[in-house]
Every structure is written in structure tokens, then in C-alpha cells.
Amino acid sequence: MNLTESFMPTTSQNPVAVAESIIASFQTLPTIPAAATRAIQLLNGPDPDLSEVADIILADQVIAARVIRIINSPLYKLLHEVESVKQALIYLGPQKVFEIILTSCFLELTDSRTLAGIRPQSCWEHSFGVALVARNLAELSGVVKPEMAYVSGILHDVGEVILMHYRQDQFREAVQRSVERELDLHDAEREIFGTTHCEIGALLAAQWHFPELLTQVIMHHHADQMELKTPLIQVVHLADQICSDVRLKCSMDVEVPGVGAGVYGAHLPELEKQLAQLGVTDMDAFRKALTQMVDHIKAAVQAIYT
């Protein structure tokens, strides 16, 4: 399925056309650094030249510094501190560095402390949470590569980040409406914008030359139609639901008393049935890993963003 086919409207109002008009209205189009784009393309190609990748990253001091900071964060739990990009490539290998570069792109896009009245740390926890839970599900089920599950989890909500920055008042209204009416955020977005972060994120991911698999996850991770769900989309979709269920999700900077807290893990029994269909059979191992991941995610976000 190509990107154009996946964007076919399902209602009389074309959410993709609305998303395109919103993006066209931006005075400054959000961009991914050229060095990151080139490194991503090389790392996705056959037999990547690691020296060339390192040289490209080193040409952008901001990206190089972020790569080193991520590598030495609790996300990777290295025994020894890594001090250079070339050392990281040798030590971790190209696939891990691909993960890290895309994570640095996420940092680039979320490098703000004012996001439409949203508590930024909660959104970072959600993205890293979905990444780590998706990787865990990939490892337990064997249906997709864990590295791609991680990267897809990090960037699945990139459209939300864009709306936070470029449509702050409307996005805050969407979050507030989702909390007060107990709606899924993308449903509240559709009511307010006529489109969602899925269409916004996927259109931009295509412009940034992200891999097609990743663009499809960004577009369809909330899709109900099973025919749109590849194994990778299913993994990220479930990871997204699980993280929201254990309170790793975007929240407002001022909470509404008595609204939106929910019960921790209330939907996990139903979600575990879906995990079994995916091929995850050791639920005890998953529950134990999930508890550890929640603590790990909070520590990682604290380390990276402070």
C-alpha cells in the first residue's frame, strides 16, 4: 500500500486535505536537520558505510551532542560512557544508531518547554513509553524487528508535537475536551480540526523522507480497519493503548480536579487478549517487564530532558 492510497478519505470531509491546508498555513515548515535525513537514508540502505554516517552526524554539532546524550542515558544502560559518535557506531552498530538519530529528531521537534498548556514531560514519557513497550512486544511476539518497533513508537505521535507548536490554542482545547468528555485525543482533534495528528504527522514524515513503514505507522496507529494494520502498526497500536492505560500519556499542565485520572491498568486484561492474538503468550513476563519499564521511562525522560 502506498502513501496516497492510505490517505483515501473515509468520510465526506477529507481529513488529508484538511491536514495539507493546515501544514500549508505554517509560516515556517517544521524540518528535520539535513544531516539527520541523510544519515537515516544511509542507514536504511544496503551495507551502510559507518564512517560516512559518523562524518555526516559530526558535521552537525547539535545532532552529535544529542546522539551522545541519548546513548549515555538510562535508555541504553551502557557499562561504559561513550564519548564519540564513531565509538557509538562501533559499539552499538548501525541499527541502534538509526534508532538514536530518529530519537534526536524527536528531541529537535520537542525542544520547547511551552506546548499549548500541556505538561511536556508527560508527552515525552508517552513517546518513550510506547517505544519501549513496542520493542518489548516485538521481542516477545517475534512478528516485527524490535528496532523498528522502537523507532515507530518514538515517532508515532509526531503530528501531536506539530499541533502543540503551531496550533496551540486549538490543541489545548482538544486535550481539554478529551479529558472532560473521556474521548480519545484523536477523536477530539477530528472534532476541532477536521483532521488528526495522524494525517499531519504522516504528511510531514513523507516530506522528511522517513521510511515508508514508519510513515504508515504514524498514519494508521489509531485505525480501526484491520486491513490497514500491518504487524508493525498492530504492535505500536497496542503499545500506545497500554501506555495510556498505565498513565503514560500527555496531560495538561493544570489538571482538572476529579477528571481524567482513570484507573491504573483498568483495561490491561482486555489488552492482554489482543496481545495473545499478536503472539505474546507469556503474560507474567510482560506484566513484570511493564512495571519495570514505567519506572525506567520516567528515569530516562528525567535524564534526557534536564
DSSP of 171-222, one letter per residue? Answer: HHHHHHHHHHTT--HHHHHHHHHSS-HHHHHHHHHHHTT--HHHHHHHHHTT
User: What is the pLDDT at residue 228?
Assistant: 63
| pLDDT 10s digits, 86-122 | 777 777 777 777 777 777 777 767 665 555 567 777 7
State whether residue 9 is helix, strand or coil: coil
User: What is the pLDDT at residue 232?
Assistant: 92
User: What is the pLDDT at residue 240?
Assistant: 92
User: What is the pLDDT at residue 270?
Assistant: 80
Instruction: Give the Cα separation of 53 and 28 in Å (integer).
Output: 28
Q: Which helix (H) or strand (E) holds 110?
A: none
User: What is the pLDDT at residue 225?
Assistant: 64
Q: Which CA distances in Å does 100 have to 80, 85, 96, 111, 166?
A: 17, 11, 6, 16, 26
User: What is the pLDDT at residue 209?
Assistant: 79
CB atoms < 10 A from the CB of 106, how many?
22
User: What is the pLDDT at residue 100?
Assistant: 78
Closest CA to 114 of 155, 161, 176: 161
User: What is the pLDDT at residue 32?
Assistant: 74
Instruction: Give the Cα separation of 52 and 136 in Å (integer).
Output: 31
| pLDDT 10s digits, 153-205 | 988 998 988 888 888 889 889 988 888 888 888 899 999 999 999 999 999 99
User: What is the pLDDT at residue 33?
Assistant: 74
User: What is the pLDDT at residue 216?
Assistant: 93
The structure's pTM equals 0.80
- Extract the residue ranges of the chain whose pLDDT is less than 50: 1-11, 256-263
User: What is the pLDDT at residue 180?
Assistant: 86
Beta pairing partners, 115: 118
